[in-house]
Amino acid sequence: MNSRSKRVVLVAFVGVLVATAGCSALGLGSSATTNLLLVNNDETSHDVTVEVLHDGDSVYSEDATVDAETDEELPAFEGSGEHTVAVTVDGETSEQVYEFTGDDDAVSIGIDNDATVTVGG
């Protein structure tokens, strides 16, 4: 291989490295994005806080008032892996462990008639 060909190959290789490093730096493909949907199955409106915890630290928190028998879309959660989802409904908090995967498009958080909470069910 002559020196010109070596230079072309080297430039192409460096270009590929720069392109893939740029994608990693921008976070493309590095974490899953999951839409969260509050589903109020109760005949009463509720004040709700959804918090996602990782190793005890809050990595996501949103407050919403959900009218009776309606759905409320929350901002997306960006992350994957096992997390604790703490849902506070009218001042009462319940926690459930949920495994966020790259396959999740949306996760529902249901509030039942007795204000019990179901995550992903």
Query: How does pLDDT run across 8-54, given as a tens digit for each residue?
Result: 444 444 444 444 444 444 444 446 899 999 999 999 999 999 999 99
Q: How high is the pLDDT of residue 113?
A: 87
Q: What is the mean pLDDT of residues 102-109?
A: 85
One domain for residues 108 and 53:
yes
Q: How high is the pLDDT of residue 50?
A: 97
Considering the chain, what is the average pLDDT of its residues? 82
One domain for residues 42 and 25:
no
What is the domain range of residue 63?
Answer: 33-119
- Kind of pairing, strands 46-54 and 106-111? unpaired
Q: How high is the pLDDT of residue 102?
A: 74
This model's pTM is above 0.75: no
One domain for residues 57 and 112:
yes
| Rounded CA separation 114/121 (Å) | 16
One domain for residues 26 and 78:
no
By three-state DSSP, how is residue 99 classified? Answer: strand
Q: Which amino acid is at 64?
A: A
Q: What is the mean pLDDT of residues 87-102?
A: 93
